[in-house]
Structures are given as structure tokens and as C-alpha cells.
Amino acid sequence: MSEQHYQFATRVAALQPNTLREQAKESQIADDYIKLTYGYPSNEAFPVAKLAKISERIYRDHAFEFMQYGESEGIPKLRAQIKARLSQYQGLDVITNDVLITSGSTQGMDLVFKIFVNEGDIVLTEEHTFVGAVNAVKSYGGQVQGLPFDLERQSINPDVLLETLAADTAHQIKLLYLIPTFQNPIGTSMSSADRQRIYAICRDHDVMVYEDDPYGDLLYTETPEQPKIKAFDTTGHVIYAGSFSKILAPGSRLGFLLAPERVFQKLVLVKQVADSFANLYWQYLASQLIEDDEFNAHIAYLKKLYKVKLDAMVAALQRDGGGNLTFVVPDGGYFVSVKLNDDIDAAVFYDELDKRHVGVIPGNVMSAAGQGYERYFRLNFTLPTPETIGQGVARIAAAAAAAKKPQGISV
């Protein structure tokens, strides 16, 4: 019997399995590995007792509401609460913009790219960026073009952005996708001046900015919080994306988009096609947590919890790096980005890591082009314990030392 020939749509022909998702499935089985890999919150981070009490209450008071069909936009109360928080703490315009509740932040990307990207269109990103966004663009036949990341200024260079947009005489560039706060995977945060200038450049060239901000609440230092790019938006050129995954629970599958009214209306239409509405039970849970004035206290707890783990990772890298590793110390978020020195053989390093049973995310996985970042890797500090972090970094340092090239051999 001959094998069935499936005539898949051209827009999915170039899609490849998400390496992060595939490796995550394997890592859950391989319990002997030290996992400094995926952006998972700590189990200690989940407010289980609080949510259990709230769950009893919403089953008593709202059972039929969350068991029925719901509004595609999300429950009005949660949308109003998110608007209030964005206005109060971030100074964002919630009058000419509206909030759509999405099924996780990943769906937010999918919906935005769906309404803006035609086949052959270009989405600009940072060269080192979130692979989920890259795949989402490609799923609609779009092209991803990475802009060089300037570590010194902790962002893309606005001058390079300006040159790139000016050269786009065919107007194929539709969006700029950015993670300006605690960037994934690098961990840096863009300056206020660069945020303002990048907005102005995109506004002048009529290009939308997708500001992805899943980690923005998790600032661990006394460094002043940077304004959101959306805070500068007076012309409807910025879509702001937030998530409950990193501050409540990934299993909630709750994210949200703050978008200009006309964009919001289109997003609602494609949301109706995608899944009708996000999980109502979790929407009621999140809303009640905010109403009970527990949300800010929970975020404060997360900051303390993760600051200890970040400090443990930084201390271990400083202690064990042995001159073979350089790294970025983030002010917040989930990750530390590490670079192998030039005299380390990257291929040998990853072989040595595998022998030592420690997992990291290679830099090429988190890049727009899938190449060019062989010497970089990303470490997660939120899930493992401080003790496990120390053990994992020691193994990484040993792998780097074992992969060091003999003197006189250039890389």
C-alpha cells in the first residue's frame, strides 16, 4: 500500500518542530538531568492555597457563568481590572485602546500576525529572540528579519532600524516584534530613550510595534523601571502583550493584548475563529485574586523568591566560570545569557554538557535565523533550587574547561 501524499498548505511547509517544546517533553522524562533550560516558574511560586479558596467561592457564585459559553473579548470584569492596572502602574492609554483576553501569550502573537502578515511580508525582530514568535510569523508565510542586538545599549540600534525601514521601498515590513524588558533570551532591558525613538521611527514609517512583555512585573533590583513602549503611543502603532503564565500559572493559559480600537476589533474577529474565548474558569480565578487585593502581594513574593535564585546563579557563574564564560546579569525576568569565550569549541562543549547531564538552551535555538549564536546559551534560574543551580553551573564550567582548544588554535 503506497504512502498517502498529503497536500499541505504552503504556509506550513517551512515550519519546523519547536525545539524548546520537543526538548521540554524529553527533559520531563530524563529526571537525572539538571535542567537549567525552560522558562518554567517554580512550584513554590503557585499560590495554591489562595486559589483553592477562591475556587470554592467561584464555584459557589459563578459556576454556571464559567461553564457556559463566554465573550470572545474576555469577561468584562477581568478586562477592566487589567486596564486599571495598566493605567495605574504603567501609565498606558486604556481609553483609545482595549484589552482582549487570549489563550496564553502565544495566541496573542498568532492573532496579531494573522491580521497583519501576508505571505512574503516581513516582521523585524531582535536577532536573538523568542523562537515562538519566529514560528508564528512563518506560519502565515511571513519572513523574519533579525536586527543586530547591541549588548552595550541593551537593545537593537535605532539607527539600524531607521536604515532598514528607509530601505524598504516595497513596504514589505509590517511589524517590529520586540521584548524590550528582560529580553528573552538575553535578559537586558532597553533604555527609555531608545524605546521612545524606536516608537517614533515605526510611527513615521507606519509600521506596527508588537511589545511582548511577559516578565515585566518581575524586577529584582532597585533599578528604576523603564516605561513601556506603549506608554509613548499616541497614534495607535503599538500593541502591548502581557501574560499570566509567569506570574500566576502557565496552566491558566491566560494572556492579553492591549490594542488600538480598530486593531482590537479585528483581533476579536480572528479570536472567534481560533477558539471563541479563553478559559473562563481561570479568568474568574485571576479576576477574584486581583479583587481580593492579593495580586500585588503575590508579585512581591515572586520577586523575593526569584531574587534568591538569580543571586545563586550569578554567584556560581562568577565562582566557577574560570575565565571561560561571560554573562549578562539581568535586573529581572527568568533568564541569564552566557557566552563561551572564543577559545572554547562550541560543538565539543555541548557534547561535554550532555555527558555531564545538564541542560541549557543553545543560542541558535533562540535566534531569528537559527544560526550565528553558537557560542551563546540561555540558563533558567526560576525553576531549579539554589543548590541545583550551583551544581548545574559547576558542570557547565567543567564542560567549558574540557572543550577549551589548545593554545595556538584559532576558532
CATH number at residue 271: 3.40.640.10
Assess whether pLDDT exceeds 60 at residue 38: yes
pLDDT of residue 78: 98
Assess whether pLDDT exceeds 50 at residue 14: yes
Query: What is the chain's length?
Result: 411
Stretch (H or E) spanning 187: none
Share of the chain above pLDDT 70, in %: 94
Residue among 263, 254, 187 at smallest CA distance from 230: 263
**Please, which pLDDT band fits residue 285 given cuts at 50, 70 and 90?**
very high
Q: State which residues form the domain around 285.
A: 60-295
Mean pLDDT score, 178-206: 96
**Please, which pLDDT band fits residue 1 given cuts at 50, 70 and 90?**
low
- CA 222 to centroid of chain Cα atoms: 22
Q: What is the spatial distance between Cα 47 and Cα 299, in angstroms, rounded to a whole number?
A: 10
Question: In this structure, are 98 and 178 located in the same domain?
Answer: yes
Assess whether pLDDT exceeds 70 at residue 410: no
E strands present in 109-237: 122-126, 143-147, 149-150, 155-156, 173-178, 208-212
Mean pLDDT score, 121-146: 95
Question: In this structure, are 131 and 250 located in the same domain?
Answer: yes
Question: In this structure, are 283 and 273 located in the same domain?
Answer: yes
Residue among 312, 405, 408 at smallest CA distance from 352: 405
Question: In this structure, are 40 and 178 located in the same domain?
Answer: no
Mean pLDDT score, 261-289: 96
Domain boundary among the residues 251, 276, 295 is at: 295
pLDDT of residue 358: 94
Condensed to tens digits (0 to 9), the pLDDT of residues 300-323 reads 999 999 999 999 999 999 999 988
Q: Which residues fall within 8 angstroms of residue 119, CB to CB, at 6 or more apart?
A: 10, 11, 140, 141, 142
- Coil, strand or helix: which one is 214? coil
Amino acid at 297: A
In this structure, is residue 52 part of a structural domain? no
In this structure, is residue 368 part of a structural domain? yes
Question: In this structure, are 133 and 281 located in the same domain?
Answer: yes
Mean pLDDT score, 176-181: 97
**Please, which pLDDT band fits residue 4 given cuts at 50, 70 and 90?**
confident
Mean pLDDT score, 149-156: 89
Question: In this structure, are 95 and 173 located in the same domain?
Answer: yes
Domain boundary among the residues 295, 318, 343 is at: 295
Q: Is the pTM of this model over 0.85?
A: yes
Q: Which residue has the cell 540600534?
A: 157
For the chain, the average pLDDT equals 92
- Coil, strand or helix: which one is 338? strand
pLDDT of residue 17: 62
**Please, which pLDDT band fits residue 152 given cuts at 50, 70 and 90?**
confident
Question: In this structure, are 236 and 310 located in the same domain?
Answer: no
Assess whether pLDDT exceeds 50 at residue 21: no
pLDDT of residue 350: 94
In this structure, is residue 69 part of a structural domain? yes
**Please, which pLDDT band fits residue 30 given cuts at 50, 70 and 90?**
low
Domain boundary among the residues 279, 295, 311 is at: 295
Question: In this structure, are 153 and 258 located in the same domain?
Answer: yes
Condensed to tens digits (0 to 9), the pLDDT of residues 214-233 reads 999 999 998 888 999 999 99
In this structure, is residue 2 part of a structural domain? no
In this structure, is residue 411 part of a structural domain? no
More confident position, 53 or 23: 53
In this structure, is residue 283 part of a structural domain? yes
Question: In this structure, are 136 and 277 located in the same domain?
Answer: yes
**Please, which pLDDT band fits residue 293 given cuts at 50, 70 and 90?**
confident
More confident position, 4 or 113: 113
Mean pLDDT score, 188-195: 96
Stretch (H or E) spanning 227: none
Mean pLDDT score, 163-181: 97
Q: How many domains does the chain have?
A: 2
Question: In this structure, are 324 and 286 located in the same domain?
Answer: no
CA distances from 254 to 47, 145, 184, 243, 378 (A): 16, 28, 19, 6, 25
**Please, which pLDDT band fits residue 18 given cuts at 50, 70 and 90?**
low
In this structure, is residue 51 part of a structural domain? no
Condensed to tens digits (0 to 9), the pLDDT of residues 373-407 reads 999 999 999 999 999 999 999 999 999 999 998 87
Question: In this structure, are 284 and 358 located in the same domain?
Answer: no
In degrees to the nearest 10, what's the CA dihedral of 379, 382, 386, 389?
Answer: -20
Assess whether pLDDT exceeds 80 at residue 336: yes
More confident position, 389 or 14: 389
**Please, which pLDDT band fits residue 411 given cuts at 50, 70 and 90?**
very low
In this structure, is residue 164 part of a structural domain? yes
What's the CATH code of the domain at 24? 3.90.1150.10
Question: In this structure, are 42 and 188 located in the same domain?
Answer: no
